[in-house]
Amino acid sequence: MIILNQEEIKSFYLMEDAIRDVRETLIAKVQNKVQSPHRTVLEFPEESATSLYMPSADLENKVAAVKVVTIFPNNPAKELPTTQGIIVLTSTEDGSHLSVMNASYLTRLRTGAMTALATDALAKKDAKVLTVVGTGAMAFEQTLGVLAIRGISKIILFNRTKEKAMSFANQLKAVGVEVEFEIADEVNDAVSKADIICCATKSTTPVFDGEYLRPGTHVNGVGSYLPHMHEIDHTTIKTASKIVVDDLHGAKDEAGELMDAEKKGIWSFNDVYAELESLVSGKVNGRETEEEITFFKSVGASYYDLAVAKGVYKKAQTLGTGLNIEV
């Protein structure tokens, strides 16, 4: 069994790897070669905490994965991270456990790859301005995902704490991102200038007014992943001509803004244009006009974790990296 920590994975597994591996897994899923049962959730009321168990299997490549993520909101007081996760990769040929790897970076990376694939199909080909709303940990890989598939020349950053937005810009510059940066004072002003918008917040109220979206804008919403979270407003949902979700089953249970819009009779899940797998495999068209507004909503699903976990394992074997142990 190979043990891989976060720093090891970050040293050799990059955005282009994740985009390739997520694309391949989505195509395999369309071909019914991927199993993905719904996740199991355990709640620990005394700690206001949750543990998630997310299994999936690639029948063609004969590997299965389980991601285990714990969310303990009280951990910072104990000087521990709120969220901790691992992925266990198993052979479906002989049942041997192939690898245990850190899941924190990989979760962010695969979400960025999902956004990249959705944006590639739904954003205008000549999109130049990216607005990022919320500059927390998840936003970094979101930005790298968009940069991987569009020739972005300007990034507008909005965060409630301006200093955090400035720090985020410096982080991007440190990894070689050479574009014009603007730190916005007002979110709707940032939205009105964008060709592509990435929202990565856990907000329970909409973070911008959809009235400010200009024709042809593509919006990615990846931050809100629970029913009470609503980072995207009803105007955006009503205005979008195409709404694509990463996983329909998960979206119906967890995409708070879509659930709320359906509950209030503003919109229906019957109006979902497609799941990401149909877009990536070419079963449905992406952007069809220059003017249409499009929206990609992600809440996560186990097969996206499987995609990157098997890619990491394969590359680690080739490079001979990681700690080999017998268990």
Active site residues: 67
* Residue whose C-alpha is closest to residue 61's, from 321, 324, 314, 246: 314
Query: What whole-number distance in Å separates Cα of residue 26 and Cα of residue 43?
Result: 30
Angle between helices 162-174 and 137-149 (to 10 degrees): 50
Using DSSP's 3-state secondary structure scheme, residue 244 falls into strand
Query: What whole-number distance in Å separates Cα of residue 321 and Cα of residue 102?
Result: 14
Query: Which neighbouring-strand residues pair with 87?
Result: 67, 101
Using DSSP's 3-state secondary structure scheme, residue 59 falls into coil
For 223, residues 6+ apart whose C-beta sits below 8 A from its C-beta are 134, 136, 138, 199, 200, 201, 202, 203, 229, 231
Residue 320, judged by CB atoms within 10 A of its CB (0-12, 13-18, 19+), counts as exposed
Q: Report in angstroms the alpha-carbon separations of 283 from 26, 246, 279.
A: 12, 15, 6
Read off the DSSP letter of residue 48. T
